[in-house]
A = this chain, B = another copy of it.
Amino acid sequence: MPWKAIGIFDSGVGGLTVLKEIIKALPQEDTIYFGDTARFPYGTKSPETIIRYSLEIASFLVKRDIKLLVVACNTASAVSLEALTKKLSIPVVGVIEPGARRAVSTTRSRKVGVIGTEGTIRSSAYTKAIKRLNPDVEVITQACPLFVPLVEEGWIDNEVARLASRTYLTGLREEKADTLVLGCTHYPLLKEIIAEVMGTGVRLVDSAEETASTVADILRSGGMLRPSSEKGNHHYFVTDVPAGFIRIGKRLMGGELGDVHQVSVEEPVMNEEMADDGS
């Protein structure tokens, strides 16, 4: 069992920040990353569809003999975690719960800010998770739709990023949250600018870091860790042409990715019978 790989999936490239933290925490482990780039983004799709996609990907990874599955996608974590846990006999870890737990244990003022994509914020997944852990914690949310494109453009320390951060975060600052959850896998790359705008009194919770540390805890307590003298191998699968994934992936990982393999996906067919002709 210790020799099996850790499986990680995301709707696209963003989950690589979680993979990066897992490799940092557990360099001895093999990993298999699956980015469903052809069907990205999940945020606009129905729960039924997201659950089906998640189960398909999980089955692909389980066939490659993983010992633990990380759902490194906020949308899929919010929607599919229960279905995956029911279906699989290996541990399944999402990105929301670890971030929420750390936020609750960190805050002193009991005011927690959460930033994420529009889809994540609209789902209230972090708010619900935090409230489940401690109903007395007040949660203030803010969608920051420009942060993902800023990171993908590599604009993480210029004036545009600084000004966008100020525009998004001023409200959270004024509300005096003392803890801020980076509720999107892309956001850790903007950590420095976000910290600068929020000021020294505010603690940032990096969901990617917290998720990696949860993975380490589970493997350790289950006796599933490889010896720390080992060095892990890392494989990547994507569902669309790998070029874009590799280009942005290098930015997120801060270095080369190694081999990225494209997995074929059957294309959708328009079902015209079901069209509403609008007349």
How many identical subunits does the complex contain? Answer: 2
- Residue in contact with A146 in the complex, picked from B46, B60, B155, B163, CB distance below 8 Å: B155
List which A34-83 residues lie within 8 A (CB) of chain B.
37-39, 44-46, 49, 52, 56-57, 59-60, 63-64
Residues from chain B with Cβ under 8 Å of A262 in the complex: 276
CB within 8 Å of B: which A145-169 residues: 145-146, 148-150, 152-153, 155, 158-160, 163-164, 167
Q: Which residues of the other chain, B, contact A52 by a CB distance below 8 angstroms?
A: 267
Given A146-B150, A146-B153 in contact, is the A266-B276 Cβ separation under 8 Å? Answer: no
A238-279: CB near B (< 8 Å → 1, else 0) gives 011100100000000000000101111111111110111111
B145 near A149: Cβ-Cβ < 8 Å? yes
Q: Which residue of B lies closest to A260 (CB)?
A: B278
Contact B263 A266 (CB under 8 A): no
Least CB distance, A130 to chain B, in whole angstroms: 25
Contact between chains at A270 and B265 (CB < 8 Å) = yes
Residues B240 and A44 in contact, CB atoms below 8 Å apart: yes
Q: Does A203 contact B (CB under 8 A)?
A: no
Chain B's nearest CB lies how many Å from the CB of A147?
A: 9
**Contact present for B60 and A278 (CB under 8 Å):** no
CB of A235 within 8 Å of the partner chain: yes
Q: Which residues of B contact A259 (CB under 8 A)?
A: 278
Can you give 14 A-B contacts (C-beta < 8 A)? A38-B45, A60-B272, A146-B146, A146-B149, A146-B155, A148-B149, A149-B149, A160-B167, A236-B278, A239-B270, A259-B278, A261-B277, A263-B270, A265-B270
- Starting from the known contacts A145-B153, A237-B275, A262-B276, 7 additional A-B residue pairs (CB-CB under 8 Å) come to A39-B268, A56-B270, A145-B152, A146-B149, A261-B277, A263-B270, A263-B274
